[in-house]
Amino acid sequence: MEAVPHPYVDHRFGAPAGWDEARDGFCGVLEVHLTTLAGHPAFESLWKPSAEDLATLNAGGTVALYVLGHGHPPVAIGVRSPSIAEQG
C-alpha cells in the first residue's frame, strides 16, 4: 500500500530523531490530518492498495499494521469513500 496525499493535510511526519537512512532505510514524509474519532483526537492518513494488494486481499489475505518501537499506541484502520479525495 502507498500513502496518498490527504486533501486536508495539516501535519507532516518525517523520520524520527536518530533515524539513520543508511542503517534504517528510507523514511518518507507522511501527510496527515488532525481530526477526531469517537471523540478522541486522531491523526488520519490515507492509503491506497495496489492491484497486487487487492488481489491478495480478495484471495483472503489480511492487512498488517506495523508500529515501530517498544509499545503499541491505540490505532484504528478503516476505509474511506473515494469522495474524500475529491474534497481537497
Rounded-to-integer distance, Cα 2 and Cα 5, Å: 10
- Record the pTM: 0.79
- How many CB atoms sit inside 10 A of residue 78's CB? 6
* E strand intervals along 1-88: 2-4, 11-13, 30-37, 40-44, 46-48
Rounded-to-integer distance, Cα 27 and Cα 72, Å: 19
**pLDDT tens for residues 15-70?**
999 999 999 999 999 999 999 999 999 999 999 999 999 999 999 999 999 888 88
Domain coordinates in residue numbering, the chain? 2-86
